Amino acid sequence: MENIKYRAVVTGATRGIGYAIAERLLQDGLEVIATGTRKNAKHPAGSSYYQVDFLDENSVNKFIQYLKKQKINILVNNAGINKIGEFSSIDIDDFDRILRVNLRVPFQICQAVIPYMENEKWGRIVNLTSIFGNITKEYRAAYSSSKFGLDGMTAALAAELSEKGILANSVGPGVIDTELTRDVLGESGISELKGRIPMKRLGQASEIASLVSWLVSDENTYMTGQNLMIDGGFTRV
């Protein structure tokens, strides 16, 4: 199959890593449906845009029904939220919101698009986890719960679907140089963090996009069920 025949969905594609992934897949010749929470949000030129709020049940249900009518070959679950806090102080509503956006809705999206992939005997699923879906640290209980769960779902998908031609993998970005990262960490925080990364720099969203591009391509014929850290060696060295 030629890539031009493929249709991809990239969630959370209005900025940062999601935007870079959608842009790269367009360059690869794919048809891309980009999602975001805001009406008429900026999205890569050439993609179509679907507004959906993962925290709104009605909005999600409409999106799921929309996806079932599309012919989706490639799914990239990128959208996610985070809130840092001590375990004992985590509000259960915040916990539910994080689990919903980062795990439940990606689960529903997978259920919506897999039947077409099974019919075509070809499909690619990439779920964006995090380094905190592989390791964790203090104040990350809610976020890590969602990301470890997402990777567990990915492994289960690979076990169930690989023989049907559908490959599923997780990609765990390290600290990536995005507007959000700079707003949260500030220059002093970024400088301190760089010193703990073996490559002594932040990652670029384009580097994540390059890995995803290969994972969803015809060139990937045997990689499935993996949780691939792309973090400058942070979690390994």
- From the list 6, 49, 116, 143, the catalytic residue is 143
- Is 6 among the catalytic positions? no
Residue from 9, 22, 128 nearest 64 by CA:
9
Asked if residues 130 and 230 have their Cβ atoms less than 8 Å apart, the reply is no
The set of catalytic residues is: 143
